[in-house]
Amino acid sequence: MVIVMKPGAPQSEMEKLSKKFESMGLSVHPTIGENYSILGLVGDTQLLTESEVAASSSYIDRIIRVQHPFKLASRLFHPEDSVIDVEGVKIGGGNLTFIAGPCAVESRDQVFAIAEQVKASGAHMLRGGAYKPRTSPYSFQGLQEEGLQILKEAKEKTGMPIVTEIITPDLVELVADYVDVLQVGARNMQNFSLLRTVGQTNKPILLKRGMSATIEELIMAAEYIMSEGNPNVILCERGIRTFETYTRNTLDISAIPAIKELCHLPVIVDPSHAAGRWHMVEPLAKAAIAAGADGLIVEVHHKPDEALSDGAQSLKPEKFNRLISAVRQIAAIDEDVHHRHVPAQVRDNGLR
């Protein structure tokens, strides 16, 4: 349930109401925006009637029953865009953030060479897998802890925060010691024990959409992480499985505005895993930014033909450089698309 307060409702009134609902066993999430103040109630609100709530304060403007199964991730609970801060790099709220790097960490030289080049092109963070969830058990599985050490050294050299995938709950503590953002991959989007474990860390989480997951299931996976106390979740659309086989996946562009309407978390797009083919990465990246994505995660390899994983979809550094300048121009054309999506039910409050 969301309680929208009247404009100018005093803070003391919100505190009084918060105490009342907390004493009923509910958790209360207040948000004070420019034109509105709201209290989001999480818990069993079935028994609370609208008239009972309305009678508890003359400063209540209206009461909205949240129809979605997600609460903490809902726009109604948190009308402004969430901005996630990774060591000073901001994601969401109108920032355009680029994450780039190889699919897998293969060697120190490989990571250092790619890191220097993507940084020079304007990447804000470095990606690289040390634990790879491969379809075949015979494929390269990653350098594991040695890979984490290489990523850490690349951060020391370039200053770029590191994003890497975590594939099992027992590795969370170790991986969190080395890197800045924990990536939960498509194959693990509904690995609920992994979601709960990363939710107990204080690291930002990059949560990728499962290849057959609905938008609601993606947001519910974010809700798992948030319900454990970690609000720093970045959602990633990386293509879904359809009947089409020409591309590796089908990039669901409509997921971007749909998630923006439902949820306040930043949405980034991975055009590399969506396409599976390097020459389609730039067009998909442009479409994603035009549709309002908060950033991109792109696979880049200095020698794609020799890559141990996902070479076919990896851009050479010079192609990535071109992509960044192209998408920056697109973002500049329509800055509005990156602006706030405060839901009308809440926003209209202060404007009436």
By CB under 5 A, tell whether 99 contacts Mn ion. Answer: no
The identity of residue 114, as a single letter, is I
Which residues, 6 or more positions from 38, have their beta carbon under 8 angstroms from its beta carbon? Answer: 2, 3, 4, 5, 30, 31, 76, 77, 79, 346
Residues 282-341 that bind ligand PEP (CB under 6 A): none
310 binds Mn ion (CB under 5 A): yes
In the list 186, 220, 291, 307, the residue contacting ligand PEP (rule: CB under 6 A) is 186
Residue 80: strand, helix, or coil: coil
CA distance 101 to 260: 26
Listed ranges 53-61, 166-174, 183-191, 253-261: which one lies at the site for ligand PEP (CB under 6 A): 183-191
103 contacts ligand PEP (rule: CB under 6 A): yes
Residue 153: which H helix or E strand, with range? helix 145-158
Select the binding partner of residue 186 from ligand PEP, Mn ion, none (C-beta < 5 to 8 A, by kind): ligand PEP
In the complex with Mn ion, which residue's Cβ is closer, 180 or 310? 310
Q: Build a one-symbol-per-residue string for 254-293: x at contacts with ligand PEP by CB under 6 A, - elsewhere.
A: ----------------x--x--------------------
Residue 331 CB, nearest approach to ligand PEP (Å): 23
Residue 23 or 135 having the CB closest to ligand PEP: 135
Distances (CA, A) of 3 to 8, 20, 67, 339: 14, 13, 14, 24
Taking the C-alpha atoms of residue 279 and residue 65, their distance in angstroms, rounded to an integer, is 46
Residues 292 and 338: beta-carbon distance below 8 Å: yes
From 92, 147, 185, 271, residue interacting with ligand PEP (rule: CB under 6 A): 185
Task: Decide: is 129 part of the binding site for ligand PEP (CB under 6 A).
Answer: yes
Angle at the Cα of 94 from the Cα atoms of 257 and 206, rounded to 5 degrees: 70
Q: Which residues bind ligand PEP (CB under 6 A)?
A: 103, 129, 133, 185-187, 208, 238, 270, 273
